[in-house]
Amino acid sequence: MPIPRPVQPTTPARDAFEIHRAPVAEGMRLAYVREGVGGYPLVLVHGYPETKRIWWRNIEFLAQAGFEVIVPDLRGYGDSDISSEDQYDLVLYSRDLYALVHDVLGHERCGLLGGDVGGVVICDMANRFPGFVDRMIFFNTIPPTIPDEADWYSAHGLSMNPLEHGPTGDYRIRQGRDWKELLDELDTPARRRRYVRDFYEHRLLAAQYSFDEEDYDFMVEPFEEAQRLYAGWAPYQLEFGRPMSEPPLLAQKVEVETLVLYGPEDQVVPRDFPKRCEIAFPNRVGPLVVPECGHFLQWERADVLNPLAKSFFADLRDR
């Protein structure tokens, strides 16, 4: 018998939230959910192999708590446009989200939540657009690495390469360096679904039994299309020479107040994640360890994240 998982909020139906679309750059529209319009804006940013669906257990709670909850698909993901010119990188993600939240939806400031690639993107946003980000919640990804603090890393036994000790990162090489061969192997929708499902089921990212059959189907469906699966591999190709529109601002500290969370059953993000966050986020709360949780913290422990987010952003909501 499996050990019972902590009870999680009921997952809303697939069609529980209206999907909006808005242009954010030439030839590029982002799809997004927007609930609780009029409250303090919280932007929930997914990573890979995720879409906005990974936040399905958080949207309703935060909207009912008085926040405007904005949950986009990054370019190329989910219901957002695929780039006709194969333009995907961390800064383009960041600029797209700023255009959506600031230019389209009209918010001068906001709070950000993100893990995985989404966590990296919100760090760039905080540094790229001063005054736009009030606070952040950051979890289970690669924190900024600060070259000027090389002595600090050395004193704490940390490499300057945050990916050096990731124990199950072989997929990064296949998606980054060997993507053509991998895409040829994944030559049917069923094979693409199976590949993405592995990340949720047995690739050692999530705590055991965090997802059931219905959840797997919900999460992997958007990656059936080869172009969308490939688009999600762009951040991994950057490590192997993919051209960037411009360098992301990830070699400096993030001064924005940040609540750092860590799901310790994640076997992909190196276990030195909490220590690295101590130097990357000087104005931080935590790092706080969330038990019985892995990489997909917003889904696996929505029961923890939801009230934490409500409390962390409450005074901004109440102004």
Q: What residues does each domain of the chain span? A: 19-163+246-318
Return the SS3 of 123.
helix
Question: What pLDDT sits at residue 244?
Answer: 95
Cα–Cα distance measured from residue 122 to residue 141, given in angstroms and rounded to the nearest whole number: 11
The mean pLDDT value for 43-55 works out to 98
Helix (H) or strand (E) holding 135: strand 133-139
Task: Read off the DSSP letter of residue 223.
Answer: G
Cα–Cα distance measured from residue 271 to residue 97, given in angstroms and rounded to the nearest whole number: 29
Higher pLDDT, 268 or 311: 311
CB 304 within 8 A of CB 311: no
Question: What pLDDT sits at residue 4?
Answer: 80
Question: What pLDDT sits at residue 204?
Answer: 81
Residues in the chain: 319
Which residue in the block uniquely carries the two structure tokens 């991998």? 182
Cα–Cα distance measured from residue 51 to residue 270, given in angstroms and rounded to the nearest whole number: 23
Q: Domain 19-163+246-318 falls in which CATH fold?
A: Rossmann fold (3.40.50)
Render pLDDT for 150-179 as a digit per residue (tens, 0 to 9). Answer: 999 999 999 888 876 555 668 889 999 999
Q: What rounded mean pLDDT belongs to the chain?
A: 95
- Percent of the chain at pLDDT exceeding 70: 97
The mean pLDDT value for 76-96 works out to 97
Stated pTM of the model: 0.96
What 159-164 contacts at long range (C-beta under 8 Å, 24+ apart), as own/partner pairs, is 162/270, 162/272, 162/276, 163/239, 163/270, 164/270
Determine how β-strand 40-45 pairs with β-strand 110-115: parallel
Question: What pLDDT sits at residue 162?
Answer: 83
Q: Is the pLDDT of residue 95 over 90?
A: yes
Determine how β-strand 110-115 pairs with β-strand 67-72: unpaired
CB 221 within 8 A of CB 246: no
Q: Is the pLDDT of residue 58 over 60?
A: yes
Return the SS3 of 314.
helix
Question: What pLDDT sits at residue 165?
Answer: 59
CB 292 within 8 A of CB 266: no
Report which listed range, 73-77, 169-173, 199-203, 270-274, is most confident: 73-77
Cα–Cα distance measured from residue 15 to residue 227, given in angstroms and rounded to the nearest whole number: 24
CB 204 within 8 A of CB 295: no
Cα–Cα distance measured from residue 108 to residue 318, given in angstroms and rounded to the nearest whole number: 16
Render pLDDT for 200-254 as a digit per residue (tens, 0 to 9). Answer: 998 789 998 999 999 999 999 999 999 999 999 999 999 899 999 999 999 999 9
Render pLDDT for 296-313 as a digit per residue (tens, 0 to 9). Answer: 999 999 999 999 999 999
Question: What pLDDT sits at residue 166?
Answer: 59
One-letter identity of residue 63: A
